[in-house]
Amino acid sequence: MATLAAAAVLAGCGEPPAAGWSGYAEGEHLYVAAPVAGRLRQLAVRAGDTVAAGAPLFALDGQPERDATAAAQAQLDAAQAQAANLQTGRRPDEIAQIAAQLAQAEAQAALTQADAQRKQALVASGAVTRSEADAARTAAEQGRQRVGELQAALRSARQPAREHERAAARAQARAAESALAQQRWREGQTAQPAPAAGQVTDTYFRPGEWVGAGQPVVALLPPDRIKALFFVPEPALAGLRPGQRVQLACDGCGAPIAARITHMASEAEYTPPVIYSNAQRAKLVFRVEAQPEAADAARLKPGLPLDVRPAPGS
**CATH value at residue 297:** 2.40.30.170
Same domain, 81 and 177: yes
What's the average model confidence in pLDDT over 236-241?
A: 88
Helix (H) or strand (E) holding 199: strand 198-203
Statement: residue 155 has pLDDT above 90: no
Statement: residue 14 has pLDDT above 50: no
Same domain, 175 and 227: no
Out of 43-47, 94-98, 160-164, 277-281, the most confident range is 43-47
Which has the higher per-residue pLDDT, 175 or 298? 175
**What pLDDT is stored for residue 2 in this prediction?**
37
Q: Give yes or no for a contact between 226 and 27, defined as CB atoms under 8 angstroms apart.
A: yes
Q: Which stretch of 15-19, 80-84, 209-213, 215-219 has the lowest confidence by average pLDDT?
A: 15-19
- Which residue range(s) make up the domain with 227? 18-27+223-310
Residue 59 maps to a domain: no
Statement: residue 8 has pLDDT above 50: no
Residue 44 maps to a domain: no
Q: Whole-angstrom Cα distance, residue 142 to residue 111?
A: 12
What's the average model confidence in pLDDT over 214-241?
A: 92
Residue 67 maps to a domain: no
What's the average model confidence in pLDDT over 188-198?
A: 96
Number of domains within the chain = 2
Same domain, 162 and 229: no
Same domain, 80 and 135: yes
**Could you say which DSSP state residue 18 is in?**
P
Which has the higher per-residue pLDDT, 157 or 304? 304
Same domain, 163 and 233: no
Q: Whole-angstrom Cα distance, residue 212 to residue 207?
A: 14
Q: Whole-angstrom Cα distance, residue 93 to residue 112?
A: 29
Statement: residue 4 has pLDDT above 60: no
Q: At how many degrees (to 10) do helices 63-86 and 163-188 cross?
A: 160
Determine the 3-state secondary structure of 262 from DSSP. strand
CA dihedral of 37, 190, 298, 266, whole degrees rounded to 10: -50
Residue 11 maps to a domain: no
Give pLDDT tens digits for 240-294: 999 999 999 998 888 999 999 999 998 887 666 655 555 554 467 899 999 998 8
Q: Whole-angstrom Cα distance, residue 248 to residue 290?
A: 9
Final residue of a domain: which of 181, 211, 246? 181
**Could you say which DSSP state residue 15 is in?**
P
Final residue of a domain: which of 131, 158, 181? 181
Same domain, 240 and 294: yes
Statement: residue 190 has pLDDT above 90: yes
Alpha carbon separation from 109 to 143, 218, 314 (Å, rounded): 4, 84, 108
Residue 233 maps to a domain: yes
Which has the higher per-residue pLDDT, 283 or 35? 35
**What pLDDT is stored for residue 11 in this prediction?**
40
Residue 192 maps to a domain: no
Counting Cβ atoms within 10 Å, is residue 275 exposed (0-12), middle (13-18) or buried (19+)?
A: exposed
Q: What's the predicted TM-score (pTM) here?
A: 0.66
Residue 111 maps to a domain: yes
Average pLDDT, the chain: 85
Final residue of a domain: which of 166, 181, 196? 181
Confidence of residue 1 (pLDDT cuts 50, 70, 90): very low
Same domain, 147 and 83: yes
Q: Whole-angstrom Cα distance, residue 229 to residue 292?
A: 11
Residue 157 maps to a domain: yes
